[in-house]
Structure 1
Amino acid sequence: MMKRWVRKTLVLLFTIVTFGLVSPPDILLADENTSGPSSQESTSTVAIFSDPYHDESNFIETFIAKAEKQSFEKFGNRIGPVIEDEFKSIIFPKMEEVIRHFLKVEKENFEHVMISSKPSGGKSEKIFHIYDEKTGNDLIRFHVRVDHPPQEGYWFNFHYHTYHDHFQTHYHLGKIYWDRNTPPNWMTH
């Protein structure tokens, strides 16, 4: 098996060369102590806080870019173009602020922070989750829910949950009005 320092160096170089937009090959990410794939969904490596040569600002920018990409993947081609401007001007800056704060504050508690690789479609709320790679436990969950208050039409309610209270509290990010007609399912193309 490849020496640990060689593997870490190759992962770091791969991440730098691809600006973190492409995940390193699985052989570089495989842990010597595990023989099979992990039960966690497929992801791309985003952060290794313990690496002293890791540029934190590039890491955060890469993380933010992945969060935005995940969001528009969730919206699909039918919802995305309709709410894009409001999302970018109202909701995403708040998401970005939460992510930046969370990553700076929590870096002491978690060495390997990842972002889930695929939002959920249909009627499910998940946009993306940020989790600890070592334990597989979610740390923060970004969701969007479709609300339909009586006689008000449909609204997209953006919010997040954190591990601090076992994901019980909805931390409001904002709402975007859709229409009086029922919106299509998430990830509809």
Structure 2
Amino acid sequence: MKYSKWMKKSLIILISILTFGLITPSELHWLEDASANKSPKKDSFEEAKSSDIQKHYTYVHDRNKETFMNEIMEKAELNAYVKFGDKIKPRIENEFKELILPKIEEAIAMVAATHDEDDLAQLAISEKPTGGTGEKIFHIYHEKTGQDIIRFHVRREKPPQQGYWFNFHYHLADDNFIKHYDLGSLYWDKNTPPNWTGGSIYS
């Protein structure tokens, strides 16, 4: 309870009169302490409660994104290896893991950051990379609408006098999948690489 100035002064004078001056105004600092200490307890309780709620929300939110990222990245890597097949995978697997996969993860994390928890639960990854000379590794799409959000591709390139390279890149729905966002290139050989294997990641 907070006291106004005039009530404090009146109470101090009254106490001084009743105690015949044995208690001086300077000894009555407990009045200020009492009024100062009561309300902060409530405030600190409310702050602590609010902080706990925020921490819990942040934890759940972060866990949901972490779970989403773990599941998507596991399938993303599997899609890539199915596409590479037994002939290409052994030659580029280590470089792919070291140079390309972390950039794929960054791109997916960027997409995840733009979606709330409800939307994250609706995002899925395609499970059939294309074979032959097709570029598709996997797409991430919205299950409810069926619309692709981000597409990860790889294409063969043969710069003059350099042999064959595999260029990894992605496209975004934001620009109707027109722009190439480069993830990096891995060298193959001067000889023509075999076709991609493709198929289902669960076959």
Provide, for residues 138-157 of structure 1, a one-character-per-residue CA deviation record: whole Å limited to 9, x for no partner.
Answer: 11000000001111100000
Q: TM-score, normalised by structure 1?
A: 0.68
Partner of 2:49: none
Kindly indicate whether residue 171 of structure 2 is the aligned counterpart of residue 157 of structure 1. no
Tell me the residue number matched to 1:110. Answer: 119
The CA deviation string for residues 145-187 of structure 1, in whole angstroms up to 9 with x for no partner, is 0001111100000000000000000000000000000000001
The answer for the alignment partner of 2:129 in structure 1 is 119
Percent identity, aligned pairs only, is: 53
Please point out which of 140, 145, 149 is paired with 1:139. 149
**Number of the residue aligned with 1:128:** 138
Q: Which residue of 2 aligns with 1:185?
A: 195
Give the partner amino acid of 2:76.
A
What residue number does 1:78 align with?
A: 87
CA offset digits 1:38-60 (Å, max 9, x no partner)? xxxxxxxxxxxxx98x8331222
Deviates more, 1:159-168 or 1:103-112: 103-112
Q: Residues of 2 paired with 1:169 and 1:77: CA distance? A: 31
**TM-score, length-scaled by structure 2:** 0.64
CA contact (8 A) 2:65 2:112 kept: no
Residue 70 of structure 2 corresponds to residue 92 of structure 1: no
The match for 1:67 among 68, 76, 101 is 76
Count of equivalent residues: 137
Aligned AA (2:158): H
Distance in 2 between residues matched to 1:55 and 1:108, nearest whole Å: 7
Residue type of the alignment partner of 1:165: D
Question: 1:34-73 residue pairs with structure 2 within 5 A?
Answer: 55-73=64-82
**Aligned residue number for residue 39 of structure 1:** none
Determine the structure 2 residue equivalent to 1:47.
none
Structure 2 Cα separation of the partners of residues 91 and 59 of structure 1: 20
Whole-angstrom distance in 2 between the partners of 1:124 and 1:87: 18
CA positional deviation for 1:110? 3.4
The AA in structure 2 aligned to 1:133 is E
Q: Which amino acid aligns with 2:90?
A: P
